[in-house]
Amino acid sequence: MGSLGENENGWSYNVMSNEKLITENLGLLPEFHLDPIETPGIGHVPNLTRDNAETISKLLQENHTSYHIFLLPEHDKGSHLHNHIVHHDLTLWSLGASPEQLREHHHRNTLYQRKPYKTAEPGTVKDMTRIYSFKKHLGNEYYYQDYVHFFENEISTLGYQTVLQKYLVGGDEIADDILPRM
């Protein structure tokens, strides 16, 4: 088992093999940078500050890297309860919450979040570029982080418009499988 770490190229996966550290770059994870002037959102109070923008950016990053999208394992009837920290945090920010209020409410919501089952594995993420490997783990939440990294890499390479077209509405085998899951 390896560990997720950061280096000058972004995030990496570190594994010890025969007493040697092997590092494989996973690419850059998205960074969240909110700004009271550049990215205030559609509706907001007039008193957004750089301090609360910096705080919300860090909290969004923490949520993205630390928690699974689902709160609990899949219910036996196929339903999930979702992580809504992003919605809650952004709402508080747009209403002018102070950095202390943002941290307090964010922390309260983290108490019932769950961690991903595992960190992304570079070999699995790379294999997902093949249709068989991509579909092999689709729907298995154990591979959540692998899919997160796969799609981050795809968006970084192709742009989000192309990724949405390709994986949701492209009309091919993968898109026809993924779109109904939404």
Residue that has been written with the tokens 């809650």 in this structure:
88
Q: What region does 130 belong to: left with phi over 0, alpha with psi -120 to 50, or beta?
A: beta
pLDDT at 29 (0 to 100): 54
pLDDT at 46 (0 to 100): 83
Of 28, 83, 90, 87, residue with least CA distance to 55: 90
Q: Is pLDDT at 12 greater than 50 in this prediction?
A: no
> Which DSSP letter does residue 28 get?
P
Domain boundaries, the chain: 3-28+116-181, 50-110
Q: Is pLDDT at 18 greater than 60 in this prediction?
A: no
Distance, in Å, from the CA atom of 63 to the CA atom of 85, rounded to the nearest integer, reads: 7
Contact 106, 83 (CB under 8 A): no
Instruction: Report the mean per-residue pLDDT for the chain.
Output: 79
The answer to which of 9-18, 86-95, 117-126, 165-174 has the lowest mean pLDDT is: 9-18
Angle between helices 85-94 and 99-110 (to 10 degrees): 160
The answer to which of 7-11, 20-24, 69-73, 117-121 has the lowest mean pLDDT is: 20-24
DSSP secondary structure string, 106-174? HHHHHTT----SS---HHHHHHTTSHHHHHHTTT-GGGHHHHHHHHHHHHHHH-HHHHHHHHTSS-SHH
Residue that has been written with the tokens 């949701």 in this structure:
168
Q: How many residues does the chain have?
A: 182
Q: pLDDT of 128-172, one tens digit each?
A: 988 888 899 888 888 888 998 899 899 989 998 999 999 999 888
Q: pLDDT of 103-112, one tens digit each?
A: 999 999 999 8
Which residues are CB-neighbours of 114 under 8 A, at least 6 positions away? 67, 68, 70, 71, 72
What phi and psi values does residue 137 have, to the nearest 5 degrees? -105, 5
